[in-house]
Structure 1
């Protein structure tokens, strides 16, 4: 892995808590990557996430598109987002990072933070927008900003389009893998860790495609039902952190420990919450055939090697959860309108192509899908750099 372009550690003068910013690479003078908040967040974690953003940008490179790749970056704050001090900490972090957000770091929601919260904190920190670094690259800034605002105002059955985009991409990745293996959707069981923005939308799209969601895990534990959960009822009963009100559970729904999702009788596991969720020890409990990484870096390298040795395929995060980032920029740069049908169709089409390309490369090279994704990025980055350059 290459050394990041910039790595920064910030200490809050009020709480003593730390925040991080890593810029892996600039393209056209800008890097894209969200801001996460979780207890235990580290510089190493943020560094890996920033590199992943560089890869996601490169994997969605379309020479004919209006949106052309940016570099990769990531921010992180070591704090529980439910802590009473978290909002003030977020504002102070963004105030400290203001020169970078104004000039070259376009950011947004990630683990622990919603886009609404990031937008409010950015305004309180004196920023025009969390993505204002991109504005000089736009043909018509006013129209682009209105288009993005309109897109975030779109709802589909009670859930905002911005919350659905990433999960649509994850679900389509699952469906693409099943189609490739000629496995019917009906009867295919799925367990999802995390029922926040990414996990919740993934569960909805998979259930609507005909798969059976047999387990979901949140901060309180795992909810399971071998016959299938009522996904829409669970989604409607979530709080702002993706925790389900147990009062909506049906008599045959079971409450299990938080890590029970790992050993669920399911063909597909979707870790959609924290990083490092699957390690060398707990991977032994996994019975699934596929792990589809909706979260960033949920399967550690040791675990992935052990899983591969026993025939479990891990579809990597840089492919699977890249739909959110792509949707933002397709909308802002004008490749798509603020329309749910158009947006979700574009995400599905793009993810199908990207998953197919990744798995074709893995087969051709005799490697894992993650190694194949890295190889694709290695091929594309010099092409992107030659065409677009690092700086404006």
Structure 2
């Protein structure tokens, strides 16, 4: 996912709590349970020095938030960005709790981040930052307590450094402390494509729900990072027409369709899709509004809001990003009859295959990519169908239904476990 500049100011944690309250109200959740679930369990803020290559010392700020661990160890990504805030990390940790619950994975939610600009740091500086940050948060992470993963501006190499640092402290290798690692040190087949694969699976299910053939559908993707670029390839291979893509510098639109492989090569060579010659130049905001059947926001939070929701022309919105749609926009889209597959379901392929990786690391026995894809499709389809049934039962949109289903599961676990002491 690209680290794009937000065009709309909002507080992600306030949005996450607002979504929670809407679902809690429909569930008639007790005030005591709301009091427990609306707050994170732990918030760790760390400030740590890193020596840069020019010899200077810079102090960085990092966070690790665990929202809820009543259904299992905390799970969630680490992002590196100048825009990281504690409220953003708290919101993402809460969404991770609901995401794991809605697909039935025995995890709680967590998230982490470091305020930095990795584009202005070389690999050696990033390694030193990663190892020091890992050391600072090592007091709360672990293979049975909190398992980090990649997110915005982090990747398998960052996870390898994190795993190695944690293992050096213990004196032996602990591959299960993180997921999203390279295959050579306990990573899983299919992990890199997992989020985009899950997006494809739920989009298929959504198209079936509308009686719309996915083959031939026009697809617009905002964000051309890992999830967006792989989604473009997968939808293209499915027979869809990818009509628009963008990254943080700009986008391109071609109503006749784009070649995702050629666009990716262009971005790798020139740093952006914006200068690709086989399309009309559009802004990242305009990729949300072009004529299409399936819209995939795959960048950052809050890009679909009350000011632009009315201009969206898609029949299906599949949220590959976390929190791309505000509650106000949800209401507008639902009224327009647009089927929105919410983030906690749509992009849960990543955490599902992270769970597979963790299980494989714990048992030291690994599966092939065909087995992983088959298991992922079963879990994602089962979750989609459960959310759709809830939406039909309560006559509500898919986000409210997904949140209700997830929150009910976490509330049940909380109730059964009780409060200690």
TM-score by structure 2 length?
0.78
Q: Which moved more, 1:96-105 or 1:182-191?
A: 96-105
Shift in Å at residue 257 of structure 1? 2.2
Q: Deviations over 1:193-219 (max 9, x none)?
A: 112221122112111111111011112
Q: In structure 2, the residue corresponding to 1:358 is in which secondary structure?
A: helix
CA displacement 1:206-252 (0-9 Å, x = unmatched): 11111111011112211221111101222344449x954677x4x53
Cα distance, 1:17 vs structure 2: 3.8
Matches of 1:4 and 1:76 in 2, distance apart? 16
Matches of 2:71 and 2:248 in 1, distance apart? 40
The reply to whether residue 218 of structure 1 matches residue 218 of structure 2 is: no
- Mapped to 2, the partners of 1:177 and 1:338 lie a distance apart of 29
Give the equivalent residue in structure 2 for 1:96: 136
Gaps of 5+ in 2: 1-19, 21-37, 50-56
Match of 1:192 among 196, 218, 221: 221
CA contact (8 A) 2:314 2:338 kept: yes
Matching of residues 168-317 of structure 1 within 5 Å: 168-239=197-268, 243-244=271-272, 249=276, 251-317=277-343
Q: Which stretch shifts more, 125-134 or 324-333?
A: 125-134
Contact map agreement 1:4 1:24 (CA 8 A) in 2: yes
**Map 1:339-358 → 2, pairs under 5 A:** 339-358=368-387
- Equivalent residue for 2:96? 53
Residue in structure 1 matching 2:393, options 353, 357, 364: 364
Are 2:156 and 2:182, in contact at CA under 8 Å, matched by a contact in 1?
Answer: no
Residue in structure 2 matched with residue 44 of structure 1 by the alignment:
87
Change (3 A) 1:388 1:162: farther
| Number of residue pairs matched by the alignment | 365
Retained in 2: the 8 A contact 1:214–1:224? Answer: yes
Structure 1: which 4+ aligned runs deviate by more than 6 Å? 145-148, 386-391
Q: Name the structure 1 match of 2:114.
A: 77
Equivalent position to 2:151, from 94, 97, 110: 110
**1:107-159 CA deviation, whole Å, 9 max, x = no partner?**
0101121122232244357465574289xxxxxxxxxx99895654x4xxxxx
RMSD: 3.0
Preserved CA contact (<8 Å) 1:91 1:121: yes
1:168-215 per-position Cα deviation (integer Å, ceiling 9, x unaligned): 001111111001111112331111111222112211211111111101
In structure 1, list runs of 5 or more residues that go unmatched: 62-67, 135-144, 155-160
In structure 2, the partner of 1:378 is 407
Structure 1 residues 389 and 132, CA, compared in 2 at 3 Å: closer, same or farther?
A: farther
What is the CA distance between 1:253 and its match in structure 2? Answer: 2.3
Return the offset for 1:385: 4.9
DSSP-derived class of the 1:58 partner: helix
Name the CA distance, whole Å, in 1 between partners of 2:61 and 2:419: 29
2:355 is the counterpart of 1:329: yes
